[in-house]
Amino acid sequence: MKKRSFFCLLMATFSIPLSAQCIVYPNLKGLLAQEGDTIATVCVEKRSRNQIMLTGGADYRVTTEHNESLSRRLKKRTFAVRTNQGDLYLNCRKLRYKKMRFGGWYAPAVLVGGNLYFCAVPLGSVIGGQFVPNDEVKLGGKVGDAIATSSLVNKRVCYELDSSTGKVEFLSKEKMLRLLDNHPDEKAQYLREENPDEAQYSFKYLQNIKDK
């Protein structure tokens, strides 16, 4: 009995580092299959408003300490990272929405129904126009798209990355309601939100119904 107790304790001791490791995914296929490389730890740093305004990009830097080579890989070649707390971050470096770039660095993400959803700044005058006050001058075309993005640096919306096509689409209220069809309590609560298109509301519901 003592030997068995000691063996269980030993196995538990060895399992702690394994469960605490982070997972690095090279592409969407690897993420969907839950096949990636494990590393000991990553540093997730929230970027400031000034940093985002000056250089653009997503909200989080994901790096490693004392390993510049791995940090470069995380910046330029990694598709997504799952931290040892289970949080998922998507590298926006190569992503496009209607030919517009999200920029570098990482956005919080979640898998729902086999597709990937992430939070980022509103891109394009169509999305940005939903958050710009009516008395502000709105421009069209690429100039209007850029202005909408820069003036909404603190706003976030959710996007859908379709796993079958690789295409990025805005997660509208209508799409969100379809995702919540099998979750009536969540759907009813979502409908009561004042600004359901904003990520601070929509993303929490995505987290509640995410794939296990």
Dist CA 199 CA 187 (whole Å)? 15
Q: Is the dihedral of CA 103, 104, 108, 113 positive or negative?
A: positive
* 22 Cβ contact list (under 8 Å, min separation 6): 38, 39, 40, 41, 42, 81, 82, 83, 84
Dist CA 108 CA 82 (whole Å)? 10
**What's the pTM value of the predicted model, to 2 decimals?**
0.81
pLDDT score for 204: 94
pLDDT in tens, 90-101: 999 999 998 889
User: Model confidence at 43, in pLDDT bands (50, 70, 90)?
Assistant: very high
Dist CA 109 CA 53 (whole Å)? 22
Dist CA 117 CA 110 (whole Å)? 5
| Average pLDDT score over residue span 27-49 | 92
Q: Lowest mean pLDDT: which of 82-86, 114-118, 150-154?
A: 150-154
Percent of the chain with pLDDT over 70: 77
Q: Lowest mean pLDDT: which of 10-24, 68-82, 103-117?
A: 10-24
pLDDT in tens, 118-142: 999 888 765 766 666 555 544 445 5
pLDDT score for 131: 66
Mean pLDDT for the chain overall: 82
**63 pLDDT more than 90:** yes
**169 pLDDT more than 70:** yes
pLDDT score for 128: 63
| Average pLDDT score over residue span 105-112 | 97
Phi, psi for 204 (deg, rounded to 5): -65, -30
